[in-house]
Amino acid sequence: MGVIKISRFTFSHLSFLPKLASKPQTWLSRRLPYLNYLFESLGGGRSVSSHHRSRHCLDSLPQSDCWDMTANVVSDGDTQTRVINLCQNKLRTDIHEGNGLSRDISRVVSLSATCLQKGGVIAVPTDTIYGVACLAQNTEAIERIYEIKQRNFQNPVAISVGEIDDIYKWSKVTVPRTILTDLLPGPVTVVFERSPQLNPTLNPHTNLVGIRIPNQLFIQTLAKQCAAPIALTSANVSGSKSCLQVEEFENLWPKLDLVVNGGKLSDTEESRLGSSVVDLSVPGTFRIIRPGSAHKATVACLRNKHRLVEISTSQQDR
């Protein structure tokens, strides 16, 4: 069954744990400082199992036996990172409850949004690869992302938003709306001239900004709940391969405030390419900055359906 891993104590199906969690002065709560957080996250009793503090990994649990969400606290000396597990089938195919997210997924979104709003840097699943994210309007958090990834400050970071209307707020759109709705949500980053409202310390060396709406409801909902653009880049050290599972960037965990585990995102290596990045800032034209997932479909859409003229990078530099 799904487990929550904390400290060195083992409990199983104890119905009185929520009551103990509400009494912070009890023997149990003093020894399990994250108990209140865990029960607040999960909304009730769950199994609690031992956690070896020197290990930064999660057990592989059968999908059918996994709770919708489990929370883990991993430690590296004085640094502690929370890891939230999302049951993969819930995340990818059945996360609706009525007109909204299931209650468990909504709790993960709320916890993630709170972390971001407090200036945190978190790891999140997208429709292509895992990414690290922070609020784009928070300069200190942006700087942390560059430090965590050991990324050159000259290299820009894209933003992720929740819906098409947000693109108009944070950039100067030069194409018909139908082009945006054809490409997004999806594994495409569209590039436009940035709007004055966007944090000037985000990508200060360019007047352009890349914008994503991943075809993944968790991160779309997260952006809507934050009511702000989310700076998003790959969850890896710059220059290393992109990651399809959280275990692949385990070395970054201690530097992050939260890791949201959505399981293995894809079985194909092509997915590691990330999104296709297309510059649409010049009216009537498009330029592929980076071919990634859905590259051929993106080009076909822009060239054949919308009759945009493709400009190569070499042509633009002339």
3-class secondary structure per residue, 55-70? CCCCCCCCHHHCCCEE
pLDDT given at position 107:
85
Task: Measure Cα distances from 235 to 40, 108, 126, 132, 173 in Å.
Answer: 27, 19, 11, 5, 28
Q: How many Cβ atoms are within 10 Å of 291's Cβ, its own excluded?
A: 14
- Contact criterion met (CB below 8 Å) for 52 and 59: no
> pTM above the 0.75 mark?
no
> Using CA atoms, how far apart are residues 284 and 311, in angstroms rounded to an integer?
10
Burial of 26 (0-12, 13-18, 19+ CB in 10 A): middle
- Domains of the chain (ranges, CATH numbers): 1-62 (no CATH), 87-317 (3.90.870.10)
pLDDT given at position 317:
52
Burial of 251 (0-12, 13-18, 19+ CB in 10 A): exposed
3-class secondary structure per residue, the chain? CCCEECCCCCECCCCCHHHHHCCCCCHHHHHCCCHHHHHHHHCCCCCEECCCCCCCCCCCCCHHHCCCEEEEEEEECCEEEEEEEECHHHHHCCCEECCEECHHHHHHHHHHHHHHHCCCCEEEECCCCEEEEEECCCHHHHHHHHHHHCCCCCCCCEEECCCHHHHHHHEECCCCHHHHHHHCCCCEEEEEEECCCCCCCCCCCCCEEEEECCCCHHHHHHHHHHCCCEEEEECCCCCCCCCCCHHHHHHHHHHCCEEEECCCCCCCHHHHHCEEEEECCCCCEEEEEECCECHHHHHHHHHHHCCCEECCHHHHHC
Question: For the chain (length 318 residues), average pLDDT per consecutive 10?
Answer: 27 34 40 38 30 28 32 50 56 36 74 95 96 98 97 96 98 98 98 98 97 95 97 96 95 93 88 95 97 96 98 65
pLDDT given at position 247:
93
- Contact criterion met (CB below 8 Å) for 127 and 215: yes
pLDDT given at position 315:
58
